[in-house]
Amino acid sequence: MPNWKSIIDELKATGGAHDVIRRKYLAKLFKLTGRNVIAYYSGWLQKSGAQKQGVPFELNDSDKNGFMTSIHKLDKSKGLDLILHTPGGSTSAMESLVDYLRSCFGKDIRAIVPQLAMSAGTMISLSCKEIVMGKHSSLGPIDPQINGMPAHAIIEEFKRAINEINTIPGAMHAWQPIIAKYPPTLISAAEKSIIWSNQIVKDWLVSGMFDGDPEADIKADRIVTELGDHTLTKAHDRHISMAKAQSFGLKISQLESDPALQDAVLSIHHAFVQTLSSSAAFKIIENHKGVAFVQQMQSVLFAESS
């Protein structure tokens, strides 16, 4: 199995031809499964310093262009294996992307998470019929954020303020400067964002992963609670392991149970991470035919294999 070092050695042997190596292993996965493959990779871990410069590592509406480019001319009857490595991003962009993917491939979409698919990346995974994870893979909580703050926490704090003001003499003086910083409609926006996130995820679980299951609603509700309730998850960046995700009732396939699949997926992962580490690219969307949408620090480049 190609490991991190062997991928580096292979890159050196080809003169640093990152595109060649990525496409080799994407094609290998397609040959193995017979399913379309699209990899969606963000370089937020490799270029963490650039986050302060406003580089859009998160999922956003511009990513739709990359998926349109990658999906064009694919045989959609073969389904889709979607490899995800992302910190998450916009709920509205994520919802629109899932709608688009389902319009192309129906419910025949499998999410593969080699390392991290957090927040909106987790929500995309939950829209799929199955999630493939390894012992090293993690999903994340799906509780919505408002201006970087957990919507659940905003509401909890506001309720706590009301309770203490009503029951503790003088508490108003302590809470007044805090509540004064709340912008208008903040509480309403927080409540609506929670309802929105929970509802779309439940709908996707019922219509996708648990389609036809008489207990679909019960299973979906439990998963939404486990992943969406801030009082349970504690932190938005909490890493949820494969075993933990399985305990919630999610349909998870263990990557290690299929050595050939594990070989192909981890080779793809190492090749993409090497590209993001060694080039100006900060986001790559690429299919098994070598059609890619690459966003770089200063520009967006399109590339297609010959």
State pLDDT tens for residues 195-204. 999 999 999 9
- Supply φ then ψ for residue 234, to 5 degrees: 75, -40
What is the dotted CATH code of the domain comprising 4-140+239-303? 3.90.226
Cα–Cα distance list, 260 to 22, 62, 85, 178 (Å): 17, 34, 20, 55
Q: What is the pLDDT averaged over residues 187-191?
A: 95
pTM of the model as a whole = 0.92
Per domain, the residue ranges of the chain are 4-140+239-303, 144-213
Measured over the CA atoms of residue 100, residue 104, residue 107 and residue 110, the dihedral's sign is: negative
pLDDT digits (tens, 9 = 90+) for 73-83: 999 999 999 99
**Predicted confidence band of residue 230 (pLDDT cuts 50, 70, 90):** confident
Q: Which residue has 């993690």 as its token pair?
A: 138
